[in-house]
Amino acid sequence: MWCMQSLRRRLRLSGLQLWAAGPLSASCSCKTGFSELRNPAPPRDQRCPTAGSSQHTSYKHLANGRERKTVICIEGNIASGKTTCLDYFAKNTGIEVLTEPVSKWRNVRGHNPLALMYQDANRWGLTLQTYVQLTMLDQHTKPMISPIRMMERSIHSAKYIFVENLYRSGKMPEVDYVILTEWFDWILKNMNVSVDLIVYLQTSPGMCYQRLKRRCREEEKVIPMEYLEAVHQLYEDWLINQALFKVPSPVLVLQADDDLHEMMEKYEENQDQILMLDNTQRCL
């Protein structure tokens, strides 16, 4: 327990909070602040890898002579700063970065299901979320070209946040929700969509609304403040309160209301923690 307290204290000093999903394993011999909610499928090497330098462009995770693959998902509300975070790591590290496939959601053989959903969620919610689930599954299952992959959101948040919000707001009929849930449950049982770490960019709905208006994306012009508040609460219930659905990995919480310059400094200061390169904070 002392190692968890020490790590949490250290991360708080650098602007990060660690939320471990469950108690620490008594059999883990290295200092750690992480424990897993569920075992990934297929199982991954359970030994702690050798830490690398944050200046090393390849970030190889070697365990007993084998390269270990790590998946990190950047989660947060609309306009919480996810793209900015991914841009930093794409430019300053050698890891693989996958942004949300928004371009696909905007153009499916000439159709824009993203815009249609924002215009009439009751009619187009299932259409968009079915395609989101498919494209996010594709993101998770692509062969990895680097030992570390960083993704913008995940198939988990697509279901637990955005499908859930449509259903709870009365804009998705129960039959649509049940069918999407059946598909999602099948994917969890039969596909490897495991995640090693979630970095939650915790941003106030008011700040998200300001940023959303500044960037002025066409589809987002109709998004009201109430929608951002609902999404924020679902993220809090899922990742902070852990009272909504199972959390698929440990969670690092990064306060993200700061301006661009301050966020860049946070990413630089906490690069090793975010990329899970610090041996003192993980034993998977």
Residue the block writes with tokens 């290295």:
30
H-type alpha helices, 225-270: 225-235, 260-269
pLDDT in tens, 63-90: 333 456 899 999 999 999 999 999 999 9
Distance CA(282)–CA(284), nearest Å, equals: 6
The residue among 11, 26, 33 whose CA lies nearest residue 250 is 33
Catalytic residues: 152
Using DSSP bridges, classify how beta strands 62-63 and 66-67 pair: parallel, antiparallel or unpaired. Answer: antiparallel
| DSSP tag of 153 | S
Distance CA(125)–CA(176), nearest Å, equals: 9
The residue among 85, 105, 106, 81 whose CA lies nearest residue 97 is 85
172 vs 39, higher pLDDT: 172
pLDDT in tens, 115-164: 999 999 999 999 999 999 999 999 999 999 999 999 999 999 999 999 99
pLDDT in tens, 184-228: 999 999 999 999 999 999 999 999 999 999 887 787 888 999 999
Residue 105 has pLDDT above 90, yes or no: yes
Q: What is the pTM of this model?
A: 0.76
Residue 55 has pLDDT above 60, yes or no: no
Q: For residue 34, which phi and psi values (nearest 5 degrees)?
A: -115, 150
> DSSP assignment of 17-52, as one string?
EEE-SSPPPTT--S--S---SS--SS----SPPPP-
pLDDT at 135: 97
279 vs 178, higher pLDDT: 178
- The mean per-residue pLDDT over the stretch 227-239 comes to 97
Q: pLDDT band at residue 102, thresholds of 50, 70 and 90?
A: very high
pLDDT at 70: 95
Please answer whether residues 135 and 101 qualify as being in contact, where contact means their C-beta atoms are separated by less than 8 angstroms.
Answer: yes
Residue 24 has pLDDT above 60, yes or no: no
% of the chain at pLDDT higher than 70: 74
